[in-house]
Amino acid sequence: MSGDRKVTIVEVGPRDGLQNEKGIVSTADKLNLIRLLADAGLSRIEVTAFVSPKWVLQMADHDAVMRQAPQGEHLVRSVLVPNEKGAEAAIAAGAEELAVFTSASESFASKNINCTIAESIQRFIPVMRIAKAHGLRVRGYVSCALDCPYEGAIAPGAVTAVSCGLRDLGCYEIAVADTIGRGSPDRVGMMLQHVLEQIPASMLACHFHDTSKQALENVDVALERKIATFDSSAGGLGGCPYAPGAAGNVATGAIVSHLHKRGYSTGIDPVGLRIAEDFALSLRHDC
């Protein structure tokens, strides 16, 4: 039984949701989306990514978004950063949490971040140092935790090894991501069981895409293993520029409704969330 157990939702729509849209979403619209999400009770929002516009044009206004994003006593605004330069710029703009990203697939790492997995971990060392100096926590992402668009199925041991590398660096939370959304409940369970032998459930988050329409079933598998943090995107926006055919992230409204029906609390207002999701979907339509 779930009782009144609290589940934390990490809203990634303003970053992971919008980064794959072909039409440029205005800074004003991004800021409005963040405001609506915060008003709905989302306490953790990934607002942008301090990456080169050469690679992700949609995030070219990252400095303006970070500096103008709504603030709140109970709101943590996080930013994805690829390296030391991105971390410095994000902190200067007011980021309250950083996130770094690597992969359990060497092929995906090569195409997505242009280096090996080991090299990506080395890049994060100065990021961790800068974050510590400013009193900020760092979250780590492990992409392709189940499948890679280039290599196919990924061994659970590879996910565990990368997760341990991020933990040893000092990441306080590690999000294992079904980047292309092919994960089935059985395979998700096997992967999580392997990772949980080394990483406690309290340090893990799950990031599911809904390509195969099994994201909510996969959430249930994670819940059974005491994982209580999940990423989602308003309106199910998203995909991945380096994962052809990947559908969007699991929709925030869908996962919140699912959790509430199961007796979990999220602190999120369904009515306010519906307003935010309608706005998010209008951005896709306008694009």
What positions carry a catalytic annotation?
Answer: 240
Of 38, 95, 31, 33, the residue nearest 72 (C-alpha): 38
CA distance 142 to 148: 12
Q: What is the 3-state secondary structure (H, E, C) of 71-88?
A: CCCCCEEEEECCCHHHHH
Phi, psi at 2, each rounded to 5°: -85, -30
CA distance 33 to 208: 21
Q: From the CB of residue 203, how many other CB atoms can be counted at a distance below 10 Å?
A: 19
3-state secondary structure of 223: helix
List of E strands, the chain: 8-11, 44-49, 76-80, 97-103, 137-143, 147-148, 152-153, 173-178, 204-208, 229-232
Q: What angle do CA 222, 178, 102 make, to 5 degrees?
A: 110
Of 114, 64, 42, 88, the residue nearest 280 (C-alpha): 42
Amino acid present at 232: S
Of 177, 6, 8, 170, the residue nearest 76 (C-alpha): 8
